Amino acid sequence: MRCQKLLAKRVQSFVAASFLMLAGQANAALTIEIVGSGANQIPVAVVPFAGESQLPQAITAVVAADLQRSGLFKIVDPAGITPEPHEPSEVNYQNWRARSAEALAIGSILRRPDGKLEVRFRLLDAVKQAQLAGYSYVVDAAQLRATAHKIADLIYEKLTGDVGVFGTRIAYIVKSGKHYELQVADADGYGAQTVLASSEPIISPSWSPDGTKLAYVSFERKKPIVYIQSLVSGQRQVLAQFKGNNSAPAWSPDGKQLAIVLTKDGSSQIYLINADGSGAKRLSYSSSIDTEPCFSPDGAFIIFTSDRGGSPQIYRMAVSGNGAQRLTFEGNYNVSPHFSPDGKSFTFIQRANGSSFNVALQDMASGQVQVLTDTRMDESPSFAPNGKMLLYATEIGGRGILAAVSSDGRVKQRLSTQSGDVREPEWGPLLKNQ
């Protein structure tokens, strides 16, 4: 008995010491490489803002990099045009038209007496010679990068008509040897923070709709258990710790419930559970594997993976659990469905030609399938909150990396760290107060 107690105590202190490493700065940032571009790129110039050379963070470099990475813009070089314009009155539009720029971002940064920075920014239409947008922000120096993403979002929105997602964040797992970290970073890979570090696997991170929490599956107690962790306080709670496996958390759009997968009644089945861990209710009743639930944006349906027809395919059921219908019919291995933000399509992984696993997109209305990638070992795709890009995990040269592809398949990016395998990404939501 004494021995058992001692064991239990040691296990506890081990858990406390090494599993809960919260919100530390991660040492390796993700770096992004662009490997494709859009068909029609909008030529835009981002002129260095007045006063930014004295700051630790050059705002306009971040803005230009954001726009360029989206694949939808061609960045026009402002070098050599003098004087460098910072106010509309200083703009000689002919200079910019000569360089084919269709739009022009100008601005200035002033240090106020209270130490804060005032960032002024205008977006100008170089063809119509008119202002498209004008904003000013009062921020701390630490917020300059976030401000740059806001400006890039505004330019993106004004020039493409879609919502920008440069200010959003992504979650993913890094595995180095036998060390696992759940990390959160800006969508451009900067500012990586470790949410959880563990010597046992972590999988399936899932963002709460308000972006303040992550649900995930951790094997730290030698079997899969679902946790919810606050990104604000770092505190976490067990969501589901039933007999057998607990996995595949997916938030309902209102953030009040999650769909999860449990094996407590036999094979993997889908359950609904309140976000506080109460009221687990079984939704699917098959003798097969039912897993990877994902809510439709209106909260009325759940799409999921099931092998009830003999091979894993994507199905849809009402959130009551009724009326399951098969959605995929091409190939014998279709898994990991995720709805697009407008609910009109879903992405999933399709095994094609027997050996290659690719990100695919299926239209809900027509059932038409488009394969978006040419990598070979793709996993866990999810949409950016504007539906224009998808983030997924793949493998290059035996190493796990993240990649992104536009929903038309044209723009491709790779995100990798200097060492270790990166996997299990999920793109976070748009934050309401941005």
Q: Which of residues 37-66 bind another protein (CB under 8 A)?
A: none
String of contacts with another protein for each residue 327-366, x by CB under 8 A: ------x-xx------------x-x-----x---------
At residue 430, φ and ψ (nearest 5 deg) are: -70, 135
**Among 25, 130, 398, 418, contact with another protein (rule: CB under 8 A):** 398
221 binds another protein (CB under 8 A): yes
In the bound state with another protein, the residue whose beta carbon lies nearer, of 32 and 260, is 260
242 binds another protein (CB under 8 A): no
86 binds another protein (CB under 8 A): no
Residues 6+ apart with CB under 8 A from 422: 30, 172, 173, 174, 393, 400, 401, 402, 415, 416
Report the alpha-carbon angle 257-227-174, nearest 5: 120
Interface segment toward another protein; rule CB under 8 A; list 20-28, 143-151, 323-331, 372-380: 372-380
The pairing of beta strand 24-25 with beta strand 246-251: unpaired
Report the alpha-carbon angle 11-172-399, nearest 5: 95
The pairing of beta strand 246-251 with beta strand 236-240: unpaired
Place of tokens 């029609």: 40
257 binds another protein (CB under 8 A): no
419 binds another protein (CB under 8 A): no
Ramachandran region, residue 53 (left: φ > 0; alpha: ψ -120 to 50; beta: rest): alpha
Q: CA 407: distance to chain centroid?
A: 14
Tokens encoding 21: 């490493």
**Among 163, 379, 409, 414, contact with another protein (rule: CB under 8 A):** 379
**Among 51, 209, 312, 429, contact with another protein (rule: CB under 8 A):** 312
Q: Identify the DSSP state of 15.
A: I
Cα gap 73→40, rounded to integer Å? 8
11 binds another protein (CB under 8 A): yes
Interface segment toward another protein; rule CB under 8 A; list 146-154, 226-234, 289-297, 358-366: 289-297
Q: Contact positions toward another protein, by CB under 8 A?
A: 1, 3-4, 6-8, 10-11, 14, 199, 201, 203-204, 219, 221-224, 244-245, 247-248, 261, 263, 266-268, 289, 291-292, 305, 307, 311-312, 333, 335-336, 349, 351, 357, 377, 379-380, 395, 398, 423-424
